[in-house]
Amino acid sequence: MQAGSSKARVLVVGGGMAGASVAKYLRLWGDSVDVTLVEREATYTSNIMSSLVLTGQRKLPSLTYRYDTLQRRYGVRLIVDNVVEIDPVAISIKLASGKRLAADRIILAPGIDFDPVPGLGESSRMPHAWQAGPQTTLLAQQLAALPAGGVVAITVPKMPYRCPPGPYERACLIADWLKERKPRAKLILIDANPDIAVEKENFRRAFNELYGGIIEYRNGVDIISVDPAQMTLATSSGLVRADVVNVIPQQRAAALVANTGLATDKRARFAPVDVLSYASSVAPKLHVIGDSCATTQPMAGQMANQQAKICADALARIFAGQEPDSAPVTNSACYSTITRSEAGWMTAVFQYDSASRVMKPAAASAAASQGWTRKNFEEMNTWFDALMADTFA
């Protein structure tokens, strides 16, 4: 921060769950910070709830959020542009328009990028639909066109990826829809992980009891390459052919994070941070929140929102010459659809462990629902609206 009364300047890159939350809370929690949010899209489309678009239960417009309130109520300045470069020394960014902006701190919240899938190229025949938008619509159309007795394949990437229960809940949702709409159709769930990664009891039970004749779960299988012309997948356990293929690729922090030299975790995929302030471990005036950072916490929207609050509070203190809170707490909460009208949930509260300097789940709080209910499905809608309002309104 500059001396005197001038406000500290913060640039936020990416206006998703993490970036929108941090812009809001930096302004809500003090008027001494000047916040500019740079987002490449004019509106945000929520990934959360987007699998319900595949079964026709939601439309994408109902998952679209605007930046008006952040600007009007909180005084966040918005620039709709693509950030192409970050200078970790000068603390500045370059936009696609050529413009350069400097700040006291930069918060990177650009989410994830996908690894290229060998053989896929630019084909749109095997969408991931793991970043809600045109790909979601595409996959919905492909499912609608599935022939009677057809086969759907979904691939689960190796952990860590965004929304750990996501691929399993998507499989359940689609299987429930197939039951009614596409008699005799099958769904092959090809998991690169050794076993169902989270909420195992619920998903295993659902696969067996609800979808025994529909879902075929294959664990510990890697995708070697795909052939969109033949609609085949070459896997470590043989060739799979399907009519609709949803390839969810391996994930890493958005390219911008790696290009800035921040993606230095073990596999050089995500950005290690100090979880007291989310300052990058390699460039302390750059902060990384949400799915781009490497922590012990799950990559989820609820978590991205809470990391944003920790970061906003830490920056307010830092600008005032103080230390960040030494005992931050975060939480994750995910409702997972098991059928088109019933859901389960999993949650955990994370406490800072000063000895290891990482966030650790408080044992009693880390749990999943026993089974699934209609009430949970209704609660999911309440939770979603609350979370999105806490982030964008």
Partner 1 sequence: MMSSRVALALLIAAAALAASQAAIAQTAISPPGRLLASNCFQCHGTNGKGPGFDKLAGKSARKLFKEMKDYQAGKEGDGIMARHAMGYSDAQLRELCQWLSQQRR
Ligand X SMILES: Cc1cc2nc3c(=O)[nH]c(=O)nc-3n(C[C@H](O)[C@H](O)[C@H](O)COP(=O)(O)OP(=O)(O)OC[C@H]3O[C@@H](n4cnc5c(N)ncnc54)[C@H](O)[C@@H]3O)c2cc1C
Q: How far is the CB of 67 from partner 1 (least distance, A)?
A: 16
Of residues 60 and 393, the one with the C-beta less far from ligand HEC: 393
**Closer CB to ligand HEC, residue 110 or residue 164?**
164
**CA distances from residue 118 to 68, 142, 191, 221, 237 in whole angstroms, order as listed:** 40, 21, 17, 16, 17
Q: What is the dihedral of CA 135, 380, 211, 126, to 10 degrees?
A: 10
From the list ligand HEC, partner 1, ligand X, none, partner contacted by residue 160 (C-beta under 5 to 8 A by kind) = none
Nearer to ligand HEC by Cβ, of 177 and 383: the residue is 383
| 318 closest CA partner among 348, 274, 372 | 274
Q: Minimum Å distance from CB 111 to ligand X?
A: 3
**Residue of minimal Cβ distance to ligand X:** 16
Parallel/antiparallel/unpaired status of strands 286-288 and 293-294: unpaired
Footprint of ligand X on residues 240-279 (CB under 6 A)? Answer: 254, 256
Token readout for 14 is 């990416």
Minimum distance, C-beta of residue 313 to partner 1, in the bound complex (Å) = 5
Sheet of 238-241, strands arranged across: 223-227, 232-235, 238-241
Q: Among candidates 278, 306, 254, 298, which has minimal Cα distance to 10?
A: 278
Q: Note if the bond before 160 is cis, omega within 30 degrees.
A: yes
At closest approach, how far in Å is the CB of 378 from ligand X? 15
- Interaction of residue 311 with ligand X, rule CB under 6 A: no
Q: How far is the CB of 329 from ligand HEC (least distance, A)?
A: 9
Helix and strand numbers, DSSP H then E, in the chain: 9, 26
Which residue in 113, 183, 201, 121 sits closest to 147, CA to CA?
183
Q: Which does 367 bind (CB under 5 to 8 A by kind): partner 1, ligand HEC, ligand X, none?
A: partner 1
Nearer to ligand HEC, 81 or 379 (CB): 379
Concatenated DSSP letters of 61-120: GGGEE-SHHHHHTT--EEEES-EEEEETTTTEEEETTS-EEE-SEEEE---EEEPPPTTT
Cβ closer to ligand HEC: 218 or 360?
A: 360
Residues that bind ligand HEC (CB under 6 A): 331, 333, 347, 379, 383
Is there binding between residue 44 and ligand X (CB under 6 A)? yes
Least spacing, CB of residue 355 vs ligand X, in Å: 28
Residue 364: contacted member of ligand HEC, partner 1, ligand X, none (CB under 5 to 8 Å, by partner type): partner 1
Identify the sign of the CA torsion 11, 16, 20, 21. Answer: negative
How many other CB atoms sit within 10 Å of the CB of residue 280?
26
The residue (of 1 and 274) whose beta carbon lies closer to ligand X is 274
C-beta of residue 360 within 8 angstroms of C-beta of residue 296: yes
CB neighbour class for 283 (10 Å; exposed up to 12, middle 13-18, buried from 19): buried
**Piece of 17-25, 190-198, 277-285, 365-373 that binds ligand X (CB under 6 A):** 17-25
φ, ψ for residue 158, nearest 5 deg: -65, 145
Footprint on this chain of partner 1 (rule: CB under 8 A): 25, 28-30, 302, 305-306, 309-310, 313, 316-317, 320, 322, 325, 328-331, 333, 345, 347-351, 362, 364-367, 369-370, 379, 382-383, 385-387, 389-390, 393
Chosen residue from 36, 51, 330, 339 binding ligand X by CB under 6 A: 51
Interface positions, 333-392, toward ligand X (CB under 6 A):
334-335
Can you read off the two tokens belonging to residue 25?
């809370």
**Contacted entry of partner 1, ligand HEC, ligand X, none for residue 38, CB cut-off 5 to 8 Å set by kind:** ligand X
Q: Measured from the CB atom, is 78 or 185 closer to ligand X?
A: 78
Which C-beta is closer to partner 1: that of 230 or that of 365?
A: 365
- Residues engaged in binding ligand X (CB under 6 A): 13-19, 38-41, 44, 47-48, 50-51, 82-83, 109-111, 130, 162-163, 166, 254, 256, 290-292, 299-302, 304, 334-335
